[in-house]
Amino acid sequence: MRNKALVVDDNANNLLLEKDLLEVAGFEVFEAENASSGIAIALKELPDVIVMDVRLPDMRGTEAAKILRQDKTTRDIPIVFVTASVMAEGRDEINGIPNSGFIGKPIDTRTFAKEIARFVR
């Protein structure tokens, strides 16, 4: 059975690139363009990993992660934040989310899927 990944990013180019890289690596990929849709899809599909931008139009990705951490069905799903925000306060915000990681933008297309796969149990 293929691993499932949910990619949440409001930038259509980033969403497509991350989706394509994960599909080539064998993931079944779901996508969302905002945090609210991402939360709904995560609750329905229960992906093995969530790849989420921090800056989303409706709420910060870290806020969405906190909501997912409060639900027993999604609390243990690893969340990998993919963001250009590498300032100290942004890293602290991400570090406060249990079972999460960080990949800086621009992503390395050669290693992205392997980096995401490391988070899958």
pLDDT level of residue 89 (50, 70, 90 thresholds): low
Q: Which CATH number fits domain 4-117: 3.90.1150.10, 3.40.50.2300, 3.90.226.10, 3.90.228.20?
A: 3.40.50.2300
pLDDT in tens, 29-88: 999 999 999 999 999 999 999 999 998 999 999 999 999 999 999 999 999 999 876 665
For the chain, give every domain's residue range: 4-117
SS (H, E, C) 8-64: ECCCHHHHHHHHHHHHHCCCEEEEECCHHHHHHHHHHHCCCEEEECCCCCCCCHHHH
Predicted structure pTM score: 0.94
What are all long-range contacts of 64-67, with beta carbons under 8 Å and residues at least 24 apart?
64/8, 64/35, 64/36, 64/38, 64/39, 65/97, 65/100, 66/97, 67/39
* The token pair that represents 119 in the structure block: 């988070």
